[in-house]
Structure 1
């Protein structure tokens, strides 16, 4: 998923978070571990931030070590046909905190999120910046360069921020010649665009090797592919605002381009359908804590407490009128908390900007496109005789009722629900363990194997001070 949603998060004290009770850590066992027809000896994971182990608004060694691919590799090994090792692009020990991440500390007695940065060194974090600046093509990030990974090509090929559209230099097929040329060129130069992709590429490949070509260098015996989230999420987390002239990957990816790019990704990693694996589809991004923590009702109540005459929350939308009162059909972003705390949104002359809001029409457009892209993923899986992990249904069920693991109820509640990290988008280590178990369930059901699951309670949720 998107790697840019890591800035200004709300004070947790406003969200009424409490510490959970002690939780059991029972070992989950199966009678016999058996790979069946599968060969996991060279397992490769293709995907975005969800595959990399991104959490708390950053990529760092602790969470990479418990990414769902790392957990899968560990469980595959128990069948006797698993990988001898599973290489992840970890940061050096001196830069273990990677890109920096959000953590909780006490501020005036209340838990609040703090994002480490070079300018916030009092936290003692070791942010893995080299101090160099990335080049600035159309998608120039303007971010410091991350510490380069210099080992052999990893088995975990997850790249935070990557989409299907940005992964394939041939994918863009909108029919707009100028836009397609720009999008394809930027996808080809993606190693100079995305610092997470740049750091795992050899220097000679930066700016010239697209992701499809890069993953095609691997020769797996089994793979997982969870791609497509950012083809809707980037647009959604920006409040359905986009500027294709400055970022050709900031809109909702059209179905033609997505289909072409996704098929090329699967062909590259499956060696044209000869390698077994699992495709995972796109969750409903509007159901994640990022869009369901700061509610219109709560903000309206806060404004009412400050001014009894307050009619509610004023928002800016793409519709007519452009400024109106928010309703329960509108979703506010997690990052809106810091803005409304200053009074923004309390009057029609000071409305909440559109990048903090998804209105009903925008939500419909996002969910409709998600369904369309998921149909393409499902069709591609069927055509290649691959298992399909329906993460859309899986996460919708979690949003509706949570998931119980060894008598502990885990929910989609921001931070205190155990499953989602402090960025409101990506899982915690426990969340990744739950995801790994769903992959294992699908693998066992489709291929007739007996890969043992893990005990999610052995993995942490959000760390409280």
Structure 2
């Protein structure tokens, strides 16, 4: 059986047509800080705050983070300098680089009739920040959880095997192995800071999501999240009792393009290939019939587990740990994907590939894809429940300081992007990685530069409403989306 191409999306003529972005004219109000003071803003958060795009932190992505755009707009209303721990990397280091390999950021490449995100080779090593650590304003760190932000092990480069170690924090930690990210951000706020943005918590659920729900331990315990969140936000509030702050919540990760770019029926088969593949499952399907007749399986589960391919687009074979365990009978817990599953973007790199040079061993056909490539319905429900719980904790924490804090409902913004109702003028922001209007970078998780401008505006609107300021909005159409495929 030949290798089946991992097609994500077809290249259309419209992609190659140049786009003229416009921005709607609006009444111009004189910029003013209102009841707030933006002269020294400090931001603390995870990868989006740092500026990660395309699976990496690199020069262009770092300078187009929502935090940098927000700070630039604040300058008109009395904002000051905003310093970031420069990464000094043109292509960065791909977050998911295999051990021993150095890959750079993802780009869209044309491969025959398909377009897929692929890393640039080689990537840039993560080097230490050599600038003035005491002048940093942006404490965004890729992959940082609440626990990681509170414990010195996150920055201890002498102990890189510790589960909390984070090389992205270690590179600019004020005192590696002793300082903490929250402590560093709080110290910067205490040193003349006047306003802060706090957006931690996403990485207490995101690792579980991008691992396809295969490792439940990646979800933070509810009580641990509550205690850590109160500790971290409390440290920022105490650092300067006069400083106000904007707090972001957690978006619905189920709706990310990481889980919507590869369709559940991404396996194209000809009549001949479908017939050949069905032959591999004839006995399996017959055994399932017998097990169902014996009463060990319901008819609905038998139907779910039976594997039959047809000519055209098909679901592919996956492991499903939620199925009745029949391994003692020699029956694996496998089935075909269906419309209720959410397939990860990383599945495109393995789906249809031949294993070990054996032409009959095909990923997703005769070899089931592992749980890490698909969010099952039960895993989606668990993820949504966790996000609901954590967002309630965030909302309650903000409500305890009504005069000093404003909640920025990032979840609402991202949901509206998914619904297709967000635009700048006549130019929409779509919930995809497809240029020119796709709002997510090529990793399917992080916003691109244009979407970061929308995100900065979302923060600005909440801040202006809360403190009567008139920070001008950024023009999202002045920021680029994803590069066209190469």
Query: Is TM (by shorter chain) over 0.5?
Result: yes
**Partner of residue 198, structure 1:** 170
Structure 1 residues not aligned, in runs of 5+? 1-9, 122-126, 130-144, 170-184, 245-250
Cα deviation, 1:323-368, whole Å, max 9, x if unaligned, reads 2222211111000011113131224xx2110010111111110000
Matches within 5 A, 1:178-193: 186-187=153-154, 189=156, 192=160, 193=165
Please tell me whether residue 439 in structure 1 is matched to residue 459 in structure 2: yes
**Partner of residue 221, structure 2:** 254
Cα distance change of structure 1 residues 111 and 355 upon mapping to structure 2, 3 Å threshold: closer
Matches within 5 A, 1:442-461: 442-461=462-481
**Partner of residue 140, structure 1:** none
C-alpha distance in structure 2 between counterparts of 1:230 and 1:444, whole Å: 28
Matches within 5 A, 1:205-220: 205-219=175-189, 220=193
8 Å contact kept, 2:67–2:138: yes
Cα distance change of structure 1 residues 198 and 265 upon mapping to structure 2, 3 Å threshold: same
**Partner of residue 298, structure 1:** 266
**Partner of residue 133, structure 2:** 152
Query: With structure 2 as the length reference, what TM-score do the two structures score?
Result: 0.77
8 Å contact kept, 1:402–1:412: no
Structure 2 residues not aligned, in runs of 5+? 94-103, 279-307, 310-314, 325-332, 354-361
8 Å contact kept, 2:252–2:415: yes
8 Å contact kept, 1:128–1:147: no
8 Å contact kept, 1:53–1:59: yes
**Partner of residue 379, structure 1:** 396
Matches within 5 A, 1:261-276: 261-271=228-238, 274-276=242-244
Matches within 5 A, 1:77-226: 77-79=75-77, 81-83=78-80, 85-92=81-88, 95-99=89-93, 100-107=104-111, 111-116=115-120, 120-121=121-122, 127-129=123-125, 145-153=126-134, 154-169=136-151, 186-187=153-154, 189=156, 192=160, 193-202=165-174, 205-219=175-189, 220-226=193-199
CA RMSD of aligned residues (A): 2.5
Give, in angstroms, the shift of residue 254 of structure 1. 1.2
Please tell me whether residue 22 in structure 1 is matched to residue 19 in structure 2: yes
Cα deviation, 1:61-120, whole Å, max 9, x if unaligned, reads 1111111111111111111x211x11011133xx4333331123454586543312xxx3
Matches within 5 A, 1:226-375: 226-242=199-215, 251-271=218-238, 274-299=242-267, 301-302=268-269, 306-308=273-275, 309=278, 310-311=308-309, 312-321=315-324, 322-342=333-353, 343-347=362-366, 350-375=367-392
* Bigger mean CA deviation after superposition, 355-364 or 394-403: 394-403
Equivalent residues, number? 403
Cα deviation, 1:18-51, whole Å, max 9, x if unaligned, reads 4164122447663221110110001011100010
C-alpha distance in structure 2 between counterparts of 1:434 and 1:57, whole Å: 20
**1:33 maps to which of 18, 26, 31:** 31
C-alpha distance in structure 2 between counterparts of 1:255 and 1:371, whole Å: 11
Cα distance change of structure 1 residues 304 and 232 upon mapping to structure 2, 3 Å threshold: farther
Mark the structure with the bigger radius of gyration: 2
Give, in angstroms, the shift of residue 264 of structure 1. 1.5
Cα distance change of structure 1 residues 243 and 378 upon mapping to structure 2, 3 Å threshold: closer
Query: With structure 1 as the length reference, what TM-score do the two structures score?
Result: 0.81
C-alpha distance in structure 2 between counterparts of 1:372 and 1:329, whole Å: 23
